[in-house]
Structure 1
Amino acid sequence: MTTFFTADTHFGHANVIGMCHRPYANITEHDMGLVEAWNAVVGPDDTVWHLGDFAYRASPKWTRRLFEMLNGSKHLVLGNHDFKGETRRLPWASQHQLTEIVEDGQTLVLCHYSLRVWRNMRRGAVQLYGHSHGRLPGTAQSIDVGVDVMGYAPVTWPQIKQRLELQPKLDFRDDSDVVEAIEIKP
């Protein structure tokens, strides 16, 4: 069993093809291409954390059909397009707005949106996000795992870790950086 991460599939969203320069001629080709890419790496016994925007403007029937076609046990971290429609009614293994998991000893903070700060970031926790479609640069501890960045397929923690190593380090300030209160006299 392997754990995978992805975001921003936007199944059914025809305009995402042009907006994000996705290599598909139409929305049917897009949706089926993403299903094929997903199932090429994810097996039936694997786990996938989808970090939001599963579908947008897809019919309830098509959204459910796509979900059923995708391999693995699927968890949803809600994105801005997931609060209405069929997506929330799908049989996800779990649904969250923000959650933390541990993968191979590494604490991962999962949210649809990139965060500037998160719990235990000074202790090495890594934040995975979507939403930005590759337009927001990552750091050595925070990275976009959306399909537009990750080759249109879910990715594993080792694959993410390789990309994080190429990102700029975060500049943490320790407690000695705390500025003492200065008394201001009138």
Structure 2
Amino acid sequence: MDAVLIANMCERVHEEDDLWIIGDFAFGPRSKDAGYLKEIFDQLPGARKHLIIGNHDREPTLTLPWDTVSPLVELRDGPLKQSNTLCHYPMITWNHARRSAIQMFGHVHNNWLGSRNSVNLGVDVWDFSPVQFDDVAARALELPENLHWKDVEPR
């Protein structure tokens, strides 16, 4: 699986790009093997590598030479350069939620694609390939509105 993920990343992530891992960089028996994790990390494409901390990210992952490590990031991207939110966990609301921002998450694997403004970026639902903002925005338009959106973000 690691080889497939790396090959897919190398096809889509360019040398000058930022690579954002939305948590759970490693899981399973090898997730505690610092040498193996460094070997995988060194194969990642992109100019800068960022980790949004997931529930399976432990010391060997957190000590890799990431450019940034954070539980949550607001990131300007897309044609409107809105401040989108990246977090390993899905949220119902977040900063800028009413300003067309998208919350991007992982954690739930293929159990839920998300909603119109909160999109699952887990590799399980993207053919084990990285995605760009335009991919996420297009998928968001196909997803239903969150059933609780009006409860937590009344107009």
Q: Which residue of 2 aligns with 1:148?
A: 124
Q: Which amino acid aligns with 2:38?
A: R
Specify every segment of 5 or more residues in structure 2 that has no aligned partner in the other structure, as ranges: none
Give the deviation of 1:136 after TM superposition: 2.1
Q: Which residue of 2 aligns with 1:22?
A: none
Greater relative contact order (Cα < 8 A, sep 6+): 1
Could you say what secondary structure the match of 2:135 adopts? helix
Could you say what secondary structure the match of 1:54 adopts? coil
Q: Which residue of 2 aligns with 1:157?
A: 133
- Given candidates 88, 112, 130, the residue that maps to 1:112 is 88
The C-alpha deviation readout for 1:53-82, integer Å capped at 9, x for no partner, is 001232211111000011012100000011
| Structure with the greater alpha carbon radius of gyration | 1
TM-score for both structures, normalised by structure 1? 0.74
Give the deviation of 1:129 after TM superposition: 0.1
Query: What is the rounded CA distance, in whole Å, between the counterparts of 1:43 and 1:122 in structure 2?
Result: 32
Q: Which amino acid aligns with 2:64?
A: L
Aligned pairs for 1:16-31 within 5 A: 30-31=1-2
Specify every segment of 5 or more residues in structure 1 that has no aligned partner in the other structure, as ranges: 1-29, 175-186
Aligned pairs for 1:127-146 within 5 A: 127-146=103-122
Query: What is the rounded CA distance, in whole Å, between the counterparts of 1:54 and 1:64 in structure 2?
Result: 11
Q: Which residue of 2 aligns with 1:37?
A: 8
Q: Which amino acid aligns with 1:32?
A: A
Q: Identity across aligned pairs (percent)?
A: 33
Q: Which runs of 4+ in 1 moved over 3 A?
A: none
Could you say what secondary structure the match of 2:123 adopts? coil
Contact 2:22 2:53 in 1 (8 A): yes
Could you say what secondary structure the match of 1:165 adopts? helix
Query: What is the rounded CA distance, in whole Å, between the counterparts of 1:39 and 1:117 in structure 2?
Result: 33
User: What number of residue pairs does the alignment pair up?
Assistant: 144
Give the deviation of 1:116 after TM superposition: 1.6
Contact 2:113 2:125 in 1 (8 A): no
Could you say what secondary structure the match of 2:85 adopts? strand
Query: What is the rounded CA distance, in whole Å, between the counterparts of 2:63 and 2:113 in structure 1?
Result: 32
TM-score for both structures, normalised by structure 2? 0.88
Query: What is the rounded CA distance, in whole Å, between the counterparts of 1:160 and 1:123 in structure 2?
Result: 16
Q: Which residue of 2 aligns with 1:79?
A: 54
